[in-house]
Chains A and B, each alone.
Chain A
Amino acid sequence: MIDFLAAAIRIATPLLLAALGGILSERAGVFAVGLEGMMLMGAFASIVGAWAAHSALAGVLLALVGGATIGVVVAIVTVRFRADNMVTGLTANILAAGLTSYLLRALAGGGRPLAIHLTPLPPWPIPKLDQIPVVGPLLFSLPPLTYLAIVGCVGLEAFLLRTRAGLTLRATGENPEAVFASGAEPMRVRVLAVVACGAVAGLGGAVLSLQQVGTFTDGMTGGRGYLALASLIVARWNPIGAALACLAFGAAEAFELRLQGFGVPVSSYIVQMAPYVVALAVLAGLGRSSRMPASIGQPLQWD
């Protein structure tokens, strides 16, 4: 049972970070379709950074930079130039996939990819707390980026609801014109939100590569960025809900893996479909009382 929950947390962590980034972007009014590319870039940058500088911290920082770079690209094309959010995000994902594969090989001199094998990040047990029966090893003996994800989740919730910057960000996603009339600049808010989204999602990618596996392979995010997007829709765009949704999807996947081990014929594919189907159901069911930010996807009509 403990193993099962631990597996669920492990699967959920990168998703959660990406979803948190996505929430930043979407609540400011920009669809976060580029999460996949941002994660991938972060995964790549963290491995290369850690390898080159012999420091996991360097890897983490570079993951933030890498993800933010994709964020900058998306921000310029869709916020400043007002191209469609979705198409821009998809294109950014293509770019990130190509760029990471290319650089991985170019850094090795072309042809074969750079073979980096680092030790995955070990857990950091919190003394005393990790001795608590049951809960201890589960919650208080986690690798560093997972702690960061939990802190980030709570932090984002506080940021959105308790700070003026968070208020302005939420308002930009609802009614940019009102934000403009109140003296702030909606374009600036959206650009910053998208770049921040990239950085946080990049961190999610770092969880995959630096923390869990220790290497980078082409396309290793495998669609998790889109899964994170489905998660944040199911969570109705709020951070605590996203944590629960990601955990639920992680648990479903962990559960299904276990069932397969027991020979129960539950199709892995049907289980994997669940998040997207649920997201669609949430969108369809909400209909008029949708909590989707009112101005999401709409380009800004003025400077």
Chain B
Amino acid sequence: MPAFLEMRGIVRRFGGVTANDGVDLDLNEGEILGLLGENGSGKSTLMKVLFGMIAPDAGRIVFRGRPLSGHRPSDAMAAGIAMIHQHFMLIEAMSVVENVMLGWPAAGRILKRAEMAQRVREASHRFGLDLDPDAMVADLPLGRRQRVEILKAVLREAHLLILDEPTSNLAPSEVADLLTILRRLRSEGKGIVFITHKLPEVLEVCDRVVVLRAARVSGGAPIGEVTKAQLAEMMVGRDVTVPHAERSPTKGLVRLRVDRLEGPGLGPLSFEVRGGEILGVAGVDGNGQIELAETLAGLRRPRAGAVTLDGHDITHAAVGARTKAGVAYMPADRSSTALVRSLSIAENLMLRDSHEPPCAQGMFLSVGELQDKARRLMKEYDIRGQGPKTPAARLSGGNQQKIVVARELDRRPAVLIAHQAAWGLDPGATRFVLERVLALREDGAAILYFSSELEEVLEVADRVAVMANRGFAGVTMREGADIGQIGLWMSGRAG
């Protein structure tokens, strides 16, 4: 009997980074396969290869007895593979049935609305989707919108459905509903690949699970034969050791206090950071990290709660006021938030305090002083570029980040919020960033260090918090931290 889905030896590189390094994957009909992994493990890439959005550098795919190669999404859809993206591809201003008819030849040149509406009702009933064909997508909650995507797949007679992090935006009740729908689909003989980093869901609905780590398959088993702890270890890696770096103990007073902070996609959340302490925030991206970072930096408004810096309430302070009070922020989005690529190194270095001396005197910019400051910072922070006037776009990623580091740290801030500070950097640049952060710690600043790379967090932090589901699933001291426990926290609700 021909295999339902066979992926063999999939390799895919992006520049110098290998996303998939010889990955094999199998799926049977009427089976739900959980694909587990952290950020950067390669699971999204693997599925994009399957769906035809990216071509693999090597490897082959056989689906229902036929090889798939050099294909595009439309070919995959024609072969019966459907992908439910994390960000829905729906037209909000149109109804459910109109969204279904978009791009579907079977709907006819002259739209067969009544017939399509009937088919929507039937499929909705059969799979428990509970969708009204004439409802406006804009009026539907997120959970229902996802079902429209599933409906589209089902109506086009997809045999294999790929769901990419389907529960990231759902409320707990909506998650339960989704899992029920998946079981119905399975009983109809569909094959489902369920990509996630959340263990509880995997254990609840999947038949088998495959774990990816660092571009390779690090393990896999039928659900009944593996424990949560084992899966967590496969995700996070058995060989992660906690570095035993010597450093001065934290003695300072509490500088940053967050009290029941709440906002869209965040909280409520409470924690404290002392002077001379680094609170590392680990966790898979998408669990509220950017919301927390931007709310603390002043780019998002909180709905409730309070943020205090050295005793002063900065909950509703504007960005400029926070910068003055000593809040430094290194955003994850380097290319269009932290830096303006078309501006020069010197101009980027003055991005946040362009209206104050030494950058400005009265109404004008002090060009000479600016250039001097830029040269000084370029030397101190080893920013390699032709000169202060070089556009930032010409620098390598590592040097661009050095600009951000230089700018934020030169102010001797009271608080530093670093988000993915070493992402995409080569080891040398990464080392540089971490050293500077540690030096700032010695200076007595309170530091909040976000990263999706657990090893990086473990290297710098004094305490480690794990962010999951919009809050901290757990906090532990770095000394004697239990990796297994951290892995469990990262993968969803504890216990």
Contacts and interface: CB of A to CB of B under 8 A. Distances in A.
A178 B74 contact: no
B90 A178 contact: yes
B110 A171 contact: no
A162 B110 CA distance: 6
Contacts of A179: 102-103
Contact of A167 (B89, B90, B111): B111
A267 interface: no
Contacts of B93: 174, 291, 293-294
B158 to A, nearest CB: 14
A182 B109 contact: no
A168 B102 contact: yes
B92 A163 contact: no
Contacts of A128: none
Nearest to B87: A177
A165 B103 CA distance: 9
A171 B93 CA distance: 9
Contacts of A162: 110-111, 113
A127 interface: no
B92 A294 contact: yes
Contact of B89 (A163, A164, A170, A182): A182
A184 B103 contact: yes
A183 interface: yes
A14 B111 CA distance: 31
A174 B92 contact: yes
A162 B109 CA distance: 9
A164 B92 contact: no
Contacts of A294: 92-93
Contact of B73 (A171, A177, A183, A293): A183
A175 interface: yes
A171 B102 contact: yes
B103 A182 contact: yes
Interface in B56-96: 73-74, 77, 85, 89-94
Contacts of B92: 174-175, 294
A2 interface: no
B233 to A, nearest CB: 37
Contact of B110 (A163, A178, A182): A163
Given A175-B92, A294-B93, A167 B74 contact: no
A175 B103 contact: no
A175 B101 contact: no
A291 to B, nearest CB: 8
A181 interface: yes
B98 interface: yes
A294 B107 CA distance: 24
A167 B102 CA distance: 7
Contacts of A175: 89-92
A162 to B, nearest CB: 6
Contacts of A182: 89, 102-104
Interface string A270-303: 0000000000000000000001011000000000
Nearest to B98: A167
A294 B91 CA distance: 9
Given A162-B111, A163-B111, A178-B89, A170 B94 contact: yes
Interface string A153-176: 000000000111101101100110
A168 B93 CA distance: 13
Nearest to B75: A183
B108 interface: yes
Interface residues of B, number: 22
A113 B73 CA distance: 57
Most chain A CB within 10 A, of B73, B91, B94, B110, is at: B91
Given A168-B103, A183-B74, A183-B77, A178 B111 contact: no
A73 B440 CA distance: 57
A164 B91 contact: no
A164 B107 contact: yes
A171 B109 contact: no
Contacts of B77: 183
Contact of A164 (B74, B94, B109): B109
Contacts of A291: 93
A236 to B, nearest CB: 12
Nearest to A293: B93
Interface in A122-170: 162-165, 167-168, 170
B189 to A, nearest CB: 25
B90 A164 contact: no
A242 B74 CA distance: 37
Contacts of B101: 164, 167
A179 B101 CA distance: 11
Contacts of A183: 73-74, 77, 103
A294 B90 CA distance: 12
Contacts of B85: 181
Contact of B94 (A163, A174, A177): A174
Interface string B96-124: 00100111110111110100000000000
Nearest to A168: B102
A163 B91 contact: no
Contacts of A170: 91, 94
A174 B91 CA distance: 6
Given A167-B101, A170-B94, A181 B110 contact: no
A174 B92 CA distance: 8
A291 B108 CA distance: 26
B101 to A, nearest CB: 6
B109 A178 contact: no
Contacts of A168: 102-103
Contacts of B103: 168, 179, 182-184
B206 to A, nearest CB: 26
A179 B103 CA distance: 7
Contact of B108 (A164, A177, A178): A164
Contacts of B73: 181, 183
A171 B74 CA distance: 18
A162 B104 CA distance: 14
Contacts of B89: 175, 177-178, 181-182
Nearest to A294: B93
Contacts of B102: 167-168, 171, 178-179, 182
A171 B94 contact: yes
A177 B113 CA distance: 24
Contacts of A177: 89
Most chain A CB within 10 A, of B94, B102, B104, is at: B102
Nearest to B101: A167
A58 B225 CA distance: 80
18 contacts: A163-B110, A164-B110, A165-B109, A167-B98, A170-B91, A171-B91, A171-B94, A171-B102, A174-B91, A174-B92, A174-B93, A179-B102, A182-B103, A183-B73, A183-B77, A183-B103, A291-B93, A294-B92
Given A162-B113, A171-B94, A175-B92, 10 more contacts: A164-B105, A164-B108, A165-B109, A168-B103, A171-B91, A174-B94, A175-B91, A183-B73, A293-B93, A294-B93
Closest 5 CB pairs of A and B: A182-B103, A178-B89, A181-B89, A183-B74, A174-B91
Interface of B: 73-74, 77, 85, 89-94, 98, 101-105, 107-111, 113
